[in-house]
């Protein structure tokens, strides 16, 4: 019952956002713009040959080949990160309840949270990176695959805490012993990678990050961050909204993959949102101003504190203004716009989350990995 309530809240929140956008924004005229050489991109469309049956020897052999290609580039570790609303406490319910209940009832909250986590995969089947996905990936590529968990709250401070979790996860798997690591992040999980890039580059955000050590538990990570900055990293984002800035440095390779249909890299018209006609609509909607406000006052306050560095959090005016921007393209890294052929004539808003979860379907695992290997090999020349 608790699981169904949580899923219902998430579904209603997503649907309400889509309806609001459909009613108010689909007729917005985008500003004219000229493509810039600073926004490199490529457009491709999936064919039946790109998605052989997962049970076939052909699929297994091709996955093994992609694993070998990445291995020759020095990649042995692949870290996956999920996006918003699918983590261990997306609305701060468990943390808030734990702070309100009398002492001695912590076990009740822990039991409820474990109940949710144990059954989460039933709700988000084929829509998140889970143990099934990671096991299949690892077994067929012979690469080590792991998942960095986070609350998945839709606000700045939650993503900063997600970065803390990622750093501790990297410590746990002894990442500094690796020569090169591949990160694959879906949706706002990509913002965590953007935060990582900034913290590794000795940016202003690193100073803020360490100053918040008492609030985040990051006070003992400064030395480790310096060690981690010596490793070559490859970041791949899947449907990540154009939002946080990625720092540039010679040890970082950055690829953005976005579900897109159209002859130009333009954002989709919201009249097609319920059939995913123009691709990934959540990638358009999740921009600056689209955050929620945490029910935990301290988290809400710290999110506001981060706005000068990370942009608007909850601000409908800024959100509406941002939706007028015409292009899907991220300003840093290479943009690969893929027609996953997932549009339909019938509304599929819940099953496809408006074109946003197609990347994680196992049938596209081989295609995505092939594109990643192609890109990294070219960058390695």
Secondary element (H or E) of residue 252: strand 252-259
The band of 351, judged by pLDDT with boundaries at 50, 70 and 90, is confident
> Is residue 179 in some structural domain?
yes
Q: Could you report the per-residue pLDDT of 15-43, keeping only the tens digit for each?
A: 555 555 554 554 554 444 555 546 899 99
Any domain includes 280: yes
Residue where the block lists tokens 């333009």: 266
Q: Is residue 99 part of a domain?
A: yes
- Note the helical H segments in 105-238: 106-123, 131-141, 156-172, 189-200, 204-211, 213-216, 222-228
Tokens found for residue 66: 């992609």
| DSSP assignment of 19-63 | HHHHHHHTTPPPPP----TTS-EEEEE--GGGS--TTSHHHHHHH
Mean pLDDT, residues 149-172 taken together: 95
Q: How many CB atoms lie within 10 A of CB 188?
A: 31
Q: Tell whether the model's pLDDT for residue 5 goes beyond 60.
A: no
Stronger pLDDT, 286 or 223, i.e. the higher one: 286
Q: What is the model's pLDDT at position 14?
A: 57
Residues in CB range of 103: below 8 A, 6 or more apart: none
Question: What local confidence, expressed as pLDDT, does residue 94 receive?
Answer: 84
Average pLDDT across the chain, whole number: 87
Within a domain: residue 259?
Answer: yes
Model confidence over 213-266: pLDDT tens digits? Answer: 667 777 788 889 989 999 999 999 999 999 999 998 889 999 999 999 998 998
Rg over alpha carbons for the chain, rounded to the nearest Å, is 20
Neighbouring-strand partners of residue 185: 81, 237
Q: Which of 83-92, 110-119, 348-357 has the highest mean pLDDT?
A: 83-92
Number of domains in the chain: 1
On whether residue 33 sits in a domain, the answer given is no
70: closest CA among 375, 381, 338, 364?
375
- List the structure tokens of 116: 């949710």
Phi and psi at 37, nearest 5°, equal -65, -15
What does the H/E/C string look like for 256-268?
A: EEEEECCCCCECC
Q: How confident is the model at residue 4 (pLDDT cuts 50, 70, 90)?
A: very low
Question: Cα–Cα distance between 96 and 295 in angstroms, integer?
Answer: 7
Question: Which DSSP helix (H) or strand (E) runs through 237?
Answer: strand 232-238
Domain that holds residue 280: 2-28+39-380
Cβ count near 346 (within 10 Å): 6
The residues with which 25 forms a beta bridge, in sequence order, are: none
Quick one: residue 128, left, alpha or beta (phi over 0 = left, psi -120 to 50 = alpha)? beta
176 falls within a domain: yes
Distance CA 200, CA 233 (A): 11
Do 11 and 98 meet the contact criterion of CB atoms below 8 Å apart? no
For residue 34, tell me if it sits in a domain.
Answer: no
Q: CA 291, CA 12: separation in Å to the nearest integer? A: 16
């Amino acid at each position: 019952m608790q699981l169904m309530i949580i899923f219902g809240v998430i579904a209603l929140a997503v649907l309400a956002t889509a309806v609001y956008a459909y009613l108010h924004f689909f007729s917005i005229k985008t500003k004219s713009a000229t493509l810039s050489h600073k926004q490199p991109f490529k457009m491709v469309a999936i064919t039946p040959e790109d998605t052989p049956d997962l049970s076939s020897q052909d699929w297994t052999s091709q996955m093994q080949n992609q694993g070998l290609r990445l291995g020759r580039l020095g990649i042995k570790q692949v870290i996956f990160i999920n996006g918003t609303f699918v983590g261990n406490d997306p609305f701060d319910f468990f943390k808030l309840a734990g702070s309100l209940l009398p002492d001695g009832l912590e076990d009740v909250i822990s039991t409820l949270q474990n109940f949710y986590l144990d059954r989460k995969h039933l709700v988000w089947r084929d829509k998140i990176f889970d143990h099934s996905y990671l096991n299949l990936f690892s077994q067929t590529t012979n690469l080590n695959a792991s998942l960095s968990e986070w609350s998945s709250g839709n606000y700045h401070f939650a993503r900063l805490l997600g970065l803390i979790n990622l750093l501790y996860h990297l410590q746990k798997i002894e990442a500094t012993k690796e020569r090169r690591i591949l990160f694959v992040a879906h949706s706002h999980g990509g913002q965590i990678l953007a935060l990582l890039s900034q913290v590794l580059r000795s940016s202003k955000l690193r100073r803020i990050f360490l100053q918040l050590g008492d609030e985040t538990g990051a006070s003992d990570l400064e030395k480790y961050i310096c060690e981690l900055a010596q490793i070559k990293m490859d970041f791949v984002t899947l449907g990540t909204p154009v939002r946080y800035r990625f720092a540039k440095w010679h040890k970082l390779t950055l690829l953005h993959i976005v579900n897109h249909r159209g002859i130009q890299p333009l954002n989709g018209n919201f009249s097609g949102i319920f059939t995913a006609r123009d691709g990934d609509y959540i990638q358009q909607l999740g921009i600056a101003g689209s955050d929620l406000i945490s029910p935990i006052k301290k988290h809400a306050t710290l999110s506001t504190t981060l706005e000068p560095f990370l942009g608007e959090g909850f601000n409908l005016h800024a959100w509406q203004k941002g939706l007028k921007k015409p292009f899907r393209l991220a300003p840093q890294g290479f943009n690969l716009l893929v027609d996953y052929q997932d549009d339909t004539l019938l509304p599929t808003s819940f099953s496809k989350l408006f074109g946003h979860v197609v990347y994680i379907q196992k049938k596209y695992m081989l295609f995505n990995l092939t594109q990643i290997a192609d890109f990294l090999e070219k960058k390695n020349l």
